[in-house]
Structure 1
Amino acid sequence: MQQEPTAAGATTGDAEPVTLPRQRAAGCPFDPPTGLASLRERAPLIPMAYPDGHVGWLATGYATVRSIMGDPRFSSRYELIHYPFPDGPEGPLPPAPVGDMTGMDAPEHTRLRRLLMGKFTVRRMRQLTDRVEEVTREHLDAMARRGQRADLVEEFARPLPALMICELLGVPYADRERFQGYADTVMTTDASPEDQYAAMVGLQEYMAELVAAKLTEPSDDLLGDLAAGGDLTDEELVGVGAFLLAAGLDTTANMLAHGTFALLSNPAQADALRTDPDLAPQAVEELMRYLTVAPTGVRSALEDVELDGRLIRAGDTVTLSLEAANRDPERFPDPDVLDLHRNATGHLGFGHGIHQCLGQQLARVEMTVALPALLRRFPTLRLDVPAHEVPLRTDMNVYGVHRLPVVWDEA
């Protein structure tokens, strides 16, 4: 006999609504927070208590998370969701700033994404491979000249994607200290709402100056193309530019640093990537699955939705644990093992649905080039501190490491 869907709060056999696990086990910097796996084993969708008192849902199963991300009955609009993390802003979230596509639904999202998709095609991003190889080589040479130890975050992982997104957009790389600081503050989960707002305003003001210059003097770059196209208002140009710049700075940088940390902690996997250049594309997909540096998404139901034998009511917020979904053994056997030979196609590291990462092809090119090049250039590369002393980005929306001290032997 088929069981009818049940709503949160009904007599379903559930214990009290859970809270979102955030604490990672000591000595396990690559694993999701403790408790997520056991919640997923209990059920892929369970009631969750939010810090503001709302009772919504937590989705941890791969099929469930993927289904919600691809379902237009769930909204990404910030003002409709309940914030799942403690120490969030008081009261409802404000609507997304102009140009922030993460917090938009169709048709506004569709219009902006359609304008940008042609700028981020697989073919166009692969055409950048030679430039990525050149930039990678330059930074590895600079590391070698400075000695036999480095903070990989500051000397390699951050500058490489920053330079590439700056060149793609037409943003002066020399201004990076100014806009990087704004982007860091916006991404810090324990920054005050006032500080985050001020940083967002600062980033918008910087981009407004840049857009004004491009409207006056056209340039051969992505922002210049958008300015010349006339499809966006000046406000939208500023917002889209700020959104793309912030997104292009952070996620790939953390994948490069945290990915290196994971490889150095799994020497056999590092050796496999170092010796087999053809393994790189597959290795990138597995690292995206295994690490899931963008670990959490949030949606709000626009109408009643039946899913997994549950009734999600209109207005309910659903928190999506992408890191739990990417470790779901029903989708990925032995999910807690880093295996660069695994076929990790279908992972949710870049998201899914209409909000799937716009710059994923650029990120793939950067990682496919940079990670094996780093390992080949410094075959004795290793951590310069005990693994437990590597500072983790538990205070940021994008997970990774704040610093990665490394050392290598002279060639």
Structure 2
Amino acid sequence: MNQFRVLVRREFLEMTRSTAYKVTTAVAILLVAGLAFLPALMDWLGRLDQRRVAVLDEGTGLVAALQEVLDAGVPAADLVLEPWAGPADEAAVEQAVREERVDGVLWLKPVAGPQAVAARYVSRDYQRDAVSALSAAVSQAALPLRLQRAGIDQAAFQAVLAPVPLQEVVLEPGKEPRESLVAQGLGYLLMLVLYIALAMYGSMALYGVTTEKTSRIAEVLLVATRPGTLLVSKLVGLGAAGLLQFLLMAVVGVGAVLVRGQLGSPVSLEDLQLSSVPVGTWAWLLVFFLLGFLMYSALYAAMGAMVSRPEEVQNASGLPTIILVVAYIVAIVALVTPGGQVATIASFVPFLTPLIMFARVVTLEPPLWQPLLGVAVNLAVLWLLLRWAGRVYRDNLLVQQPFSLRRAFRPGRAVRS
């Protein structure tokens, strides 16, 4: 046990002291901190893109109604209305626009007949989005006046345009639509993090084994320990380094949110929609991270043991990478249709379970026996996988032969038993 702890500590320290680990940790922390301030940054950038539109109203009385329509976001527009302060003549309007005192001038005039209002927008250049938004907004604001001019009862008109009530009967109620949308968004984000983590730490295991083999460090280590013990200690050390990295990102993320609140832009858990994620979901994220990490890292490490030259690393990573990409693609489908037959069956398939079952847990909340069965099946496969990876490790770690995937699936001569 002391020997195992020493090997785990060695692997953990080598990983955390490596340049790649430090760079990825720093980049991840910066991204997490940046995401906390992203809403404020987007709001500031949005204000830079706002168009200042002066409204010259010659008696229509629609300015207040027009502002209400734009404030309601229908149509969606990034316009700021302000009253026209100059004389109501063509030259003054054109001069203000040319001098860029405003981005445009909306000129409203009352006219006789059912049309009721004439509108004109003066701008320095083409502003298709502003013209489209203002046209729709003026039409909506002027609708009551135009109905009155046409002799049409406004209440009757709105009643005719009202949608026909549709009663919804759900035989198997699940989450509310808004909750499902939030769950899908957060589920995709968490699943993406899980996918990146599995790919990154699996690759680190592959490169770590390859480096030890090509630098002959493995020969020294195998003098003092068994190949299986060396493999498991590598996986545990890498896993501890990965959990430390995630813990640092979580601490920085929470700290950035609190700092943002102190700077006058408070954000609550409700704003981030994190409160909608049950505690059980976070627990399942940890479970599937550990399960997926052990399975994929063992597979990557076994492939790395058969590499004799650094040039063969790309070939060695092919099999586990393909499996991981397939799992990710099916998991995206599972986020949209978590109760579908493909997603349900695939969530019990070894190597696919960590991503697909997690996607179903986030969006569907399947019966507890399903994720438990998926974990149990994958734990059984993990036990077999570790035995197989240990054999591959034992038979190939000291063998200098070109990489061959077939060699991993046939019995070989043990270097050390």
Scaled by the length of structure 2, what TM-score is found?
Answer: 0.30
Q: In proportion to residue count, which structure has more helix?
A: 2
Q: Bigger relative contact order, structure 1 or 2, given CA contacts below 8 A and separation 6+?
A: 1
The structure with the larger Rg is 2
Q: TM-score, normalised by structure 1?
A: 0.30
